[in-house]
Structure 1
Amino acid sequence: MSGTDSKHLPVWQESILLVVTALLMAVIVKGFFLQAFYIPSQSMEPGLLVNDKILVQKVSYWFGSPHRGDVVVFDDPGGWLGQAETITAHNPVQKGLELIGLFPTGGHLIKRVVGVGGDRVVCCDSAGRLSVNGTALDESYLMGGAPMDGQKFDVEVPDGHLWVMGDNRGNSADSRVHLGDPGGGFVAEEQVVGKAWLRVWPLNRMGLVRDPDTFAQVS
């Protein structure tokens, strides 16, 4: 029997198979590689603005942990999110796209990792700068280049946890604000969804979310 005599699926069955395959691939991509999120607040200005749409990549943390300076998306540790920082899929199409990672997801936070397990993070020196393990940080990426607002703290990050802060230090409900919470303001590494990688919207500001070299000298 020649190859031309082989049977083919009906068009409608092929279409269903293609759709199911595409959905499965999308779910796999969301689970292991990429996921879409939106920026819910002003806490990461000036680098990321309210309603920016970003892609978060998960590959960096397959076999490792977040590093100082990474901008990470993480699950709410408990009571960190306000109503204004959540977004809900309003119709079946949006809910379906959210399920496979194509509709920007809410219910998460995005901050910069300042300290990792074992680090001592202190605020502040006479110039208003943070120090990590005794090294003062020159954080040129902050909103207006402004130093800290003077809130004092001296914490040691537990193993397997992170100390996170927003780049807009004057408008960020981050680890500082939650010092008195049961978790002490720390974020467990297992709550991290992934690392901010690419801004995809608006188009005129599309580009990579780059890591600063601020933390290179911290040991």
Structure 2
Amino acid sequence: MNKRQIIRMARQVGKKIGTGRSGLNFRRRRRKIQGEKVRYVSIWIAEILAVIALAFLVTLGYGKRISCSGESMAPAVVENGSVLVDRVAYHIRSPKKGDVVAFTPKGNTSANDNVKRIVAVPGDTVQIKSGRLYVNGTATNLKQTGLSIKDAGRAETEITLGDDEYFVLGDNVNNSEDSRYESIGNVTRKEMIGKVWFCLSLKGFGPVN
């Protein structure tokens, strides 16, 4: 074998080695690209699941829809208007005067849910006399000022609220079945579904104050 043949063989071997390395590099690149695709798809799926979970939690906590039958809460909530209830609020803080709340009367799950406004909280005394609401002996204005309460109901005599009792009235007080009547009575925290925060009806659409 002469010198030329040796050089030719060396070149051929070099080409084969080069081709082998190139093929190996290609396979590595393909595996890398596939790994990146898998990682991208995994992140995309995780983001979608996170959005779905967040939407579910928001709907569960703030999106419960209740129909307010009658006109007892007019004008804050129109007759037979639909409202959204915040079921998270009272796990963070206690209900307070002025809150509009949704509750199940007497805990009776077969009864329609009610929507009323809290006018007195645990420890308060409540009485209605001469058409006015008195809380702790002080005359208190209703949401609709100027209204005279025609029927005092059980609040004709002074009522002292227990540790977990709230007195509620409808804003349209003379067309409302509320804590003045035995069918509703004092409302407990356990009976409350949550705080009404938004009206969905076209008339009055927006936050409930």
Q: State TM-score, norm by structure 2.
A: 0.69
The SS at the match of 2:198 is strand
Q: 1:3 to 1:62 in 2, by over 3 A?
A: farther
Q: 1:41 to 1:81 in 2, by over 3 A?
A: farther
What's the counterpart of residue 13 of structure 2? none
In structure 2, which of residues 78, 95, 111 is the aligned counterpart of residue 49 of structure 1? Answer: 78
2:116 pairs with 1:111:
yes
Give, as a single letter, the amino acid of the residue that structure 2 aligns with 1:195: K
Contact 1:29–1:35 at 8 Å: present in 2 too? no
In structure 2, which of residues 117, 120, 125 is the aligned counterpart of residue 120 of structure 1? Answer: 125
Q: Which stretch of structure 1 is more off in the superposition, 145-154 or 60-69?
A: 145-154
Alignment of 1:55-134 (within 5 A): 55-77=84-106, 107-124=112-129, 126=130, 128-134=131-137
- Percent of counterpart pairs with the same letter? 31
Contact 2:62–2:87 at 8 Å: present in 1 too? yes
Unaligned stretches of 5+ residues in structure 2? 1-30
What's the counterpart of residue 96 of structure 1? none
What's the counterpart of residue 149 of structure 1? 150
Q: State TM-score, norm by structure 1.
A: 0.66
Contact 1:57–1:194 at 8 Å: present in 2 too? yes
What's the counterpart of residue 135 of structure 1? 138
Q: 1:19 to 1:51 in 2, by over 3 A?
A: farther
The SS at the match of 2:174 is helix
Contact 1:73–1:193 at 8 Å: present in 2 too? yes
What's the counterpart of residue 32 of structure 2? 2
The superposition leaves residues 105-151 of structure 1 with CA deviations (integer Å, 9 ceiling, x where unpaired) of xx311011111110000111x4x210101110122426xx4121142
**Structure exhibiting the larger radius of gyration computed from Cα positions:** 2
CA distance in 2, matches of 1:42, 1:26: 32
Q: 1:26 to 1:37 in 2, by over 3 A?
A: farther
What's the counterpart of residue 190 of structure 2? 190
Number of residue pairs aligned between Structure 1 and Structure 2: 171
Contact 1:47–1:141 at 8 Å: present in 2 too? no
User: What's the offset of the Cα at 1:205?
Assistant: 2.8
What's the counterpart of residue 36 of structure 1? 65
2:209 pairs with 1:207:
no
CA distance in 2, matches of 1:67, 1:26: 28
More helix by share: 2
Off by >2 Å, runs of 4+ in structure 1: 1-9, 17-22, 24-34, 78-82
